[in-house]
Every structure is written in structure tokens, then in C-alpha cells.
Structure 1
Amino acid sequence: MNISSMMRRIGITAIIFVASAAATLTITPQHATAAPTRNPILFVHGWLGAAWNWQSMVSRFEAAGYSSAELRAFSYDITQSNELIAEEVKAEADALRGATGASKIDIVSHSMGGLNSRWYLKFLDGTRYVDDWVSIGGPNHGTEIAYGCFDVSCEEMRPGSGLLADLNSGDETPGGVTYGTWWSPCDEIINPDQSVLLNGAANTKTGCLGHVALLGDATVFAQVRDFVA
């Protein structure tokens, strides 16, 4: 074989090799990784509270990457029954879903907000639209402090009230919602302290924190953030 023929064969072989390698490289396309999703959050305050109670926690959620549109706090008339307040919770939940396009939301509640938001879940079809539910210092089985107040909503927080009997009858954590409670052994408003705990929920004992201090505590926030993530 002369040199010219040998060079032609080498060239043909090289072209075949390069073409084959190129074909091999295009066999496996790269797939983009889907961005993580999260639910918008509705914050429900307690008796004598208002939307401003959530300023610290909302700010921390924003610092964690949530947009203001994903975080909704509202105020309601605390003197009406928790059943009526639950209708407002439903309206706010629907509005948040509509504004964000989310199919489900999370609810973070404080104190009596745990009762009216539970009513929404159990009796107003809320379990269809809520993924995670949080009760921070909620009187889920009543508090003796409520014997000293006379608004209908506060009376409903008394141990053994009709509202509590309805909420706690049968399954305390109905539907496919993930339930979580946070309770403090030093809560001066919830008595007994362990009234907050619910059967079927992830119940977390905090440090020695007061009732309102629970909302501003960095550790409680971090735990709640991870729970709803």
C-alpha cells in the first residue's frame, strides 16, 4: 500500500470516529431540574390580636425567600363566634388561592386562631385546600383563663365548651392535612399548657416562652418554616 492510499484510509477512519462520537454525545439530552414549589401562607391571629401580631414572623418568611404576595395576614372581629370567624378564614383562604393561583395553602395560627381555622378545616371543607396547618399556643382543649372573659368567642375557649366538643369529637386532625402544634410550658394564657396538643398532630414543646413571645422566637419560626416547607 502506498503512502497516498494509507493517508486516505486514516482520513476516512477519523471522519467515521468523529461522526460516531458526535452521535453518541447527542443520544442523552440534559433535562432541567424542576424548581421547588411551596404553598402560600395564611396567618390567623388570636383573641385580642390583629394582623400586626405577625409582623416578625412574616418578615422572617420574606427573608427566607417568600414573596409578600405569598404571605397573607388579616384582622377580624374577635367578639363574634368562632364559627362566624371561620367563614372569614374561608374567604381569606379562597382569596389567597385566587391571588396566587395555588391549589392549596398553609395556615399558621396563634391562640384562638387555632380554633376558628380548625372549624374551617373540619366543617367548611377546608381540608380540600390546606396542606399544612400550624397551631402556636392554641387552646385546642380549652383554657381556664377564658372563665374571666365574656365575649362569645372567648367563652368558646372554656374547657368543655360546645365548640370544643364539636372540634374534638372523633378525629381531632381530619383529612389529608399535616397538623403541627407548638406549646410552651411557660404559657401564661393557655392553662393547662398541654391543652394545645392534638391527637394525630406533630406536637412540639418549645422553650420557656410566654404566649405572645412564641410569635417572635427565632427557634419557633425556624421549626414552623421547616414544617410548612
Structure 2
Amino acid sequence: MDKLTYRRNPVVLVHGIFDTGRVFDKIIPYLTQKGWSVYDLDLIPNTGHASLGTLAQQVADFVDTTFVPQQPIDLVGFSMGGIVSRYYVQRLGGIQRVQRFVTISSPHNGTWVAYCNPGLGCLQMRPDSAFLRDLNQDINMLSQINFTSIWTPYDLMILPANSSQVPVGREVIVPVMTHAWMLTDVRSLSAVTEALTQPVPAIATQQFPSSWLHTQIASKSGK
């Protein structure tokens, strides 16, 4: 049996449609106070008009320029950001460095609300889209990492709400009343914290102290 470890990694947050990284203004200090180093980025455009694959490349570029190659990370995606993050993990090599992957109210099987927007990204989030069929055909690869899907049955942005259910990993259902509150309600924040403390398989990757990592980031940016 593989040895498990409770290694704590930097956490990257990926927002949803019409949002920016500011949507995480509650969860960032919440996790920071508990000892995590937390990072977020702004996907451009955030309107659902760009391909989710294009947005996923922005996640890949952010990870590659922010962290040294040897640094494993944990990834949290909210709503559309969960699907963008899945594409990064499953198609852009993220599986090689992401150890814990958490989605919050993400339409893994599509949402009928996506029919309200004609953009390519929304087309890809419609139920039974070719994009989602492609990701779901090998969703079992997520079993290689510690994956958690957190969702609420009262979500009116993810229709049906159980679209957030997937056949791999952990499932956490929290009775939060709205989509947006999933990022502010203490029950969902607690679920994220629990997901980020799940053990991961021990790997032969050298771990660097945070001070060394920040020095490398500053060096890369020319500061």
C-alpha cells in the first residue's frame, strides 16, 4: 500500500464565469489564517466566450511562472473554474503536479443555464457537450490524485444541481442556499479545508521551504 502524507501545498484558486479572483475574498484569508499559501488569477475573458481550453492554458501558464517545477500544488476551482481546472489537470499536464483537486459547484455534467449565453465556453458547459464528453470519458484519471467535489442541492446556477456529481473521488454535499454563498458559507469553507488536508501519496519530489520558493518567484519576476 502506498505511503500517505499530509504534506501541505500552495493552493491555487480558479474563479468562475463573470468573476475575478476577488470572488475569493472570503476564502483567501480563511485559508491563509489556517496556514496555507494561497494564490489566485484572473481568467481573461471571464464572459464565457472563450474556449475553456484557452482559459485552462492561462492556469497552466500561471502555475508554470509562479512555482518552480518541483513544487506540487493543490487546485480549487469554483463553478466554471472547476471545469477549466479539470481541463488543465486532464489535458495540459496538471495531473503531474496537482495533488489535491477540489471543485465547488462545478457543472461536471453540464448546466442548463449555459443555454443563456451563446459563447463558446458556455456551449462547452451545456449538458452532453462534446467538450464534457471528452473530459468525462477518462474522468477516472482523477483517481490518481485526491479529488473532491463540493456542491449544494439548492444551486440554481448548476441545473440540475447533481451535475456536480462524478463517479470518482470524494463527494461533499452542503445545504447552502445559493451558488455564490458556496464561497462564503462556513460549511462549504470547512469542507474545502477538510479536502485540502486529505492525505496524498508520498512522492520522491524534493520539498522546498516557503522562503526559498518566494525567493525563486521574485527572481523569475526580476524583483
Instruction: Name the TM-score class by shorter chain.
Output: 0.7 to 0.9
Structure with more helix by fraction: 1
Does the aligned pair in 2 maintain the 1:127–1:175 contact within 8 Å?
no
Amino acid at match of 1:189: M
Secondary structure of 2:25's counterpart equals helix
Percent identity between matched residues is: 26
Please give the alpha-carbon distance, in whole angstroms, between the structure 2 residues aligned to 1:215 and 1:37.
24
Match of 1:49 among 16, 19, 44: 19
Aligned to 1:20: none
Q: Post-superposition, which runs of at least 4 consecutive aligned residues in structure 1 deviate over 6 A?
A: none
Say whether 1:176 aligns with 2:144: yes
Q: Give the TM-score of the pair, scaled to structure 1.
A: 0.78
Q: Check the 8 A contact 1:40/1:102 in 2, yes or no.
A: no
| Offset of residue 37 of structure 1 | 4.0
- 5+ residue gaps in structure 1? 1-35
User: Is the radius of gyration larger for structure 1 or structure 2?
Assistant: 1
Per the alignment, residue 207 of structure 1 pairs with 175
Once the two structures are TM-superposed, the CA of residue 95 in structure 1 deviates from its matched residue by 2.8
* Structure 1 residue 73 corresponds to structure 2 residue 27: no
Alignment map for 1:11-160 (pairs within 5 Å): 37-66=7-36, 70-76=37-43, 77-78=45-46, 79-98=49-68, 103-160=71-128
2:40 maps to amino acid: A
CA distance in 2, matches of 1:93, 1:81: 19
Q: For structure 1, which segment, 134-143 or 73-82, has the greater mean C-alpha deviation from structure 2 after superposition?
A: 73-82
Q: 2:131 aligns with which of 144, 155, 163?
A: 163
1:187 partner SS: coil
- 2:177 is paired with a residue whose SS is coil
Q: Deviations over 1:144-188 (max 9, x none)?
A: 011111111111110011110111013344362111001111101
Match of 1:32 in 2: none
The one-letter code matched in structure 1 to 2:20 is A
The match for 1:226 among 179, 183, 194 is 194
Report the TM-score, using the length of structure 2 for normalisation: 0.80
RMSD over equivalenced CA pairs, Å:
1.5
Cα distance in 1, alignment partners of residues 139 and 71 from structure 2: 24
